[in-house]
Structure 1
Amino acid sequence: MSTDLKDKYDSIIFDLDGTLWDSTVNVAKAWQRAKEELPFVKDDVTPEIVSSIAGMAYDAIFEKLAPYLSEEKRNEFKALSARYELNILNTEGGELYPGLVPTLRYLKTKYKLFVVSNCQCGYIETFLNLNDLNETFMGHQCYGTKSQPKFQNIIDVVHDFELTKPVYVGDTQGDYDSATKAGVPMIFAAYGFGEVNGKPIATINQLSDLKTIM
């Protein structure tokens, strides 16, 4: 990790899960609670399963979890899971990656910061509120807002905030593909949930590495 990206960008757009925090244990707990209340859902939900589908759009996640269900029953499972997810996260939160707060405070002095995630509405707000980070980020966008793909949400943030040299930080192939499609270079967070086949402009092994390279 010797890349020097100082003074090359005006803004940083972050993925959330696997990049800023790990909420898989509590998300799995929420979805499992929903599963146990709905007799038509067959399979248990574990943290390992949640981490394996992290980064997918919220609708696609539940198609993956329960492909055998009708759309009506799948939507019922998704809605109950989403409600329990926010309830649990609002009280128990997720695990912040080491150095998150000081790293973000440092970066905020030099860059405009944003979050773009494939999560449901309210999820990013929960992360920000729990960790007193509302003033750290200038804006955010998620799948739940417009049900549009991540690359389009990245484009919208770039356009809405008139960013000229943004960079994206993410941890999965989906992040890399979305950033590339949006025309934004990506820094790969190798400590997260996934792997990347491609050419990210840099790889970080811990979040605080950004203080060195940016």
Structure 2
Amino acid sequence: MNKKGIIFDLDGTLWDASTQVVPAWNIVLKRHSELDKQITIDDMRGFMGKRIEVIAEIMFPRMDSEKRMKILEECCNEEQIYLRKHGGILYPKLEETLKLLAQNYSIYIVSNCQDGYVQGFLDYHKLWSYFKDIEMSGRTGKCKGENIKIIIERNEINNSVYVGDTNGDLEGAEYAGIPFIYAAYGFGQLDNVKYSINNISDINKIISSIL
């Protein structure tokens, strides 16, 4: 049986939660008044797609790793509470596109986020029925490419593609040895990619030529 899978990134690919996450993180940063730091939407969009350890280093380059990770974990916990109440902004025609894709393909999510973040997205927007499996770096401690391979192996997928918006997503697909579709409407800026879409619904126009 030729099992075909479409594996999606989350932030910048399926939704934009940056405007919702910023106030949650700033709540935590206000608790640490000694930092005298707040972040902007542009800051957050620059963080999207990066692992928590990398974001912590960018935000607090002079702080020891244990302390900065503790603060980022607080931010992530506050973020999950906030997103489960408010959700994020789904890209246009997302559910309609997922419904069409699910008729012929198995659909998955792999994200560089903390455990619970993908679940919050699926819970709030009631999208669980479209996805067969999910994985994230916060649960496995592994990079995106390794998590893509985990999804492929665990679900016995024969033919798959990864859809994302950043260079890290491209590198993850290359690591896993599968084609990449660039979500050009997201947060990243990529050139010279073989497959590109300007809206999530555009995937329906090209997916059959890839899988």
User: Where do 5+ consecutive residues of structure 1 fail to align?
Assistant: 1-7
Read off the aligned partner of 1:135 and give its amino acid letter: S
Deviation at 1:78, TM superposition (A): 1.1
In 2: Cα distance, 1:165 partner to 1:183 partner: 11
C-alpha offsets along residues 144-164 of structure 1, whole Å, 9 cap, x if unaligned?
011110000001101111111
Read off the aligned partner of 2:64 and give its amino acid letter: S
Establish whether residue 193 from structure 1 lines up as the match of residue 187 from structure 2.
yes
In 2: Cα distance, 1:75 partner to 1:174 partner: 21
Read off the aligned partner of 2:78 and give its amino acid letter: Y
Deviation at 1:76, TM superposition (A): 2.3
Establish whether residue 155 from structure 1 lines up as the match of residue 149 from structure 2.
yes
- Corresponding residue pairs, total: 206
TM (normalized to structure 2)? 0.94
Secondary structure of the structure 2 residue equivalent to 1:16: coil
In 1: Cα distance, 2:39 partner to 2:193 partner: 33
Partner of residue 174, structure 1? 168
In 1: Cα distance, 2:73 partner to 2:58 partner: 15
Establish whether residue 213 from structure 1 lines up as the match of residue 199 from structure 2.
no
* Aligned residue among 146, 149, 158 for 2:140: 146
Secondary structure of the structure 1 residue equivalent to 2:196: strand
Q: Percent identity?
A: 36
Deviation at 1:107, TM superposition (A): 0.3
Deviation at 1:198, TM superposition (A): 4.6
Secondary structure of the structure 1 residue equivalent to 2:33: coil
Deviation at 1:24, TM superposition (A): 0.3
Partner of residue 25, structure 1? 19
* Aligned residue among 189, 204, 210 for 2:197: 204
CA contact (8 A) 1:176 1:196 kept: no
Establish whether residue 81 from structure 1 lines up as the match of residue 65 from structure 2.
no
Alpha-carbon RMSD across the aligned residues, in angstroms, is 1.4
In 2: Cα distance, 1:34 partner to 1:178 partner: 31
In 2: Cα distance, 1:142 partner to 1:26 partner: 20
In 1: Cα distance, 2:25 partner to 2:77 partner: 9
Say which structure is richer in helix: 2
In 2: Cα distance, 1:27 partner to 1:91 partner: 12
Establish whether residue 99 from structure 1 lines up as the match of residue 93 from structure 2.
yes
In 1: Cα distance, 2:188 partner to 2:169 partner: 10
Q: Is the alpha carbon distance of 1:194 and 1:45 closer, same or farther for their aligned partners in structure 2, counting shifts above 3 Å?
A: same
* Aligned residue among 8, 17, 28 for 1:14: 8
TM (normalized to structure 1)? 0.92
Partner of residue 45, structure 1? 39
Secondary structure of the structure 1 residue equivalent to 2:96: helix
In 2: Cα distance, 1:120 partner to 1:106 partner: 29
User: Where do 5+ consecutive residues of structure 2 fail to align?
Assistant: none
CA contact (8 A) 2:112 2:138 kept: yes
Read off the aligned partner of 1:207 and give its amino acid letter: I
CA contact (8 A) 2:30 2:37 kept: no
Partner of residue 4, structure 1? none
Partner of residue 59, structure 1? 53
Deviation at 1:47, TM superposition (A): 1.0
CA contact (8 A) 2:3 2:156 kept: no
